Structure 1
Amino acid sequence: MAKIAVVAANGKAAKKIITEAVNRGFEVTAFGRRAENDTDAKNYIQKDIFDLTREDLKGYDAVVDAFGAWTAETLPLHSKTTQHLADILSGTDVRLLVVGGAGSLYVNPEHTIQVADGENFPEAFKPLAQAMAAALSELRKRKDVKWTYISPAADFQAEGERSGKYILAGEEFTLNPAGESVISYADYAIAMVDEIESGKHIQERISVVGA
C-alpha cells in the first residue's frame, strides 16, 4: 500500500486525487492551510507549505504538489512552493508529483513554441501559464529530486465526469481522437495515481488528455 501526502489538499484537483488514492487503498495524509478537513483523507494536518519540513514528509512514497495561485501577487508562489518542496525532498527517495498546467506544452517538434505562445491563447491566462512554465523550468534543473510534472489537457474540467479513461502523452500538445484537448479533474486524478503506482516518469514532464 502506497503512503502519500497531498499538499494544498483543499483544492478541487487535490480533492479528486485524494479520493482516487483513498479508493485504491492508499494511505493518504492531506496537508492544508484550513482548519477543517474538506477531503476524503483520514489523516489531515493543518500546515502551510512553507512551514513543511523534511521531517514532515519523511516516510512517504510520494508527495503530490497541488498548489494553485491565480492573482498577480501570488503567481510567483508556483515556483517558490515547488522549490521549497524540492529542497526538503532533496536526496531522498520520496517522489514529488506536481499538478501542472497545459500552457507550457509544446506545439512543434523542436520544442521551441508553447501553447501559451499561440495567437488564440487567452491573454487573461498568459500570466498564469508563464508562472507555471517558470516553475517547471526550475524543476527541470533539479537532479537531486525524483520529480514528475503532469500537465492536463487545455480544457481542464473541474466538474467533468469520471470516464475512467485517458491518453498518456509527453511534452507535446496532444488531441484525443475527437480532436479535443479536454480532461476532467477526476480522470486526471486517475492518471496521477497511476503514475504514483508505476513511477515510470522520474524527472520528466508528461501530459494527459481524456480519451
Structure 2
Amino acid sequence: MNIFVIGANGRQGKLLVKEAINQGYQVTAVTKSELIEKHQEKVNVLKKDLFDLTTEDLKLADVVIDAFGIFDPEKLDQHQTSLSHLTDILSKTNKRLMIVGGAGSLFVNPEKTIRLLDTPEFPKDYQPLAQSMAIAFENLQKVNDVKWTYLSPAAIFDPETQATGQYQIGEDNVILNQKGQSYVTYGDYAKAMIDEIKNQKFINQRFTVIGE
C-alpha cells in the first residue's frame, strides 16, 4: 500500500512519514522543498505544491494524508481551499483521504451544540485558525464522493514530548485521559492515524485521540 503524505516536511508530517515507514507502508512525501530526514532513502518524493496537485499526480496513492498547515493570519482560508482542492481531485477515485484536523471543532457537551472553540477558555489568539479549520471540516462533511477520515487532536497537542505508543480514541466530543486532560503528543497522534489506515473504523467520519 502506498501512502502519500502532503506536508511531509512539517512537524506532524515528518512523524506521519516515520510511523508509516515503521508500519511497513510504502511512502511518498509530497513537499514543496527537499525532504530533509534521516529516513529519506526509504521515501519517494513528489516535489510539488499542494494547490498544483492533479488526479494524475496521485494515481499511485492508496491513501493520501493531508498534513498541510498554514498559520499566516492572511492565509488562514487556505485550510478551506486546500481541502476543497484535494476532495476535487480525489473525487470518485476510491482513494482514501485522511486529514490532520483541528481540535476546535470538537464538541464539549453531549448535545453537540457547543464546540471547544466556542468556550470562554479557548485561547483568543487561536480563534481565527480554529474557525477556519472548523469551516473546512463543515465543508468536508458535505462531500460524499470521497472516502475521507478527519482526525482531531486533543486540545493540548504536544510536539515536544516523546510518544508513548499508547492512546485512546473518541468521536466528535472532547475526551479526557486519567489525569483529566485533553492531551496528546504528535507521535501518538501519528500512530493513531496510521493505525486507522488498517483499522478502517472511521470512513467518512471524524475521530479524536488522546494520550496518557
By how many angstroms is 1:84 displaced? 0.6
Determine the C-alpha separation between the residues in 2 that align with 1:122 and 1:14.
24
Secondary structure in structure 2 of the residue aligned to 1:67: coil
By how many angstroms is 1:160 displaced? 1.6
Q: Name the counterpart of 1:37.
A: 35
Q: Name the counterpart of 2:16.
A: 17
By how many angstroms is 1:18 displaced? 0.4
The amino acid that maps onto 2:19 is E
Q: Name the counterpart of 2:162.
A: 161
Determine the C-alpha separation between the residues in 2 that align with 1:16 and 1:87.
26
By how many angstroms is 1:59 displaced? 2.8
Compute the RMSD of aligned alpha carbons. Answer: 0.9
Structure 1 length as normaliser, TM-score? 0.97
Q: Within 5 Å, which residues of 2 pair with 1:144-183?
A: 144-183=145-184
Structure 2 length as normaliser, TM-score? 0.96
Secondary structure in structure 2 of the residue aligned to 1:73: helix
Secondary structure in structure 2 of the residue aligned to 1:96: strand
Fraction of identical pairs, as percent: 48
The amino acid that maps onto 1:205 is R
Determine the C-alpha separation between the residues in 1 that align with 2:115 and 2:106.
5
The amino acid that maps onto 2:166 is K
By how many angstroms is 1:33 displaced? 0.8
The amino acid that maps onto 2:188 is D
The amino acid that maps onto 2:87 is A
By how many angstroms is 1:131 displaced? 0.6
Unaligned runs of 5+ in 2: none
Q: Name the counterpart of 1:99.
A: 100
Q: Give the number of equivalent residue pairs.
A: 209
- 1:112 to 2:137 alignment: no
Unaligned runs of 5+ in 1: none
- What does the per-residue CA deviation read over 1:161-200, in whole Å, with 9 as the maximum and x for residues that have no partner? 1100000100001101110111110000000100111222
The amino acid that maps onto 2:21 is V
By how many angstroms is 1:60 displaced? 1.6
The amino acid that maps onto 2:16 is I
The amino acid that maps onto 1:208 is V
The amino acid that maps onto 2:133 is M
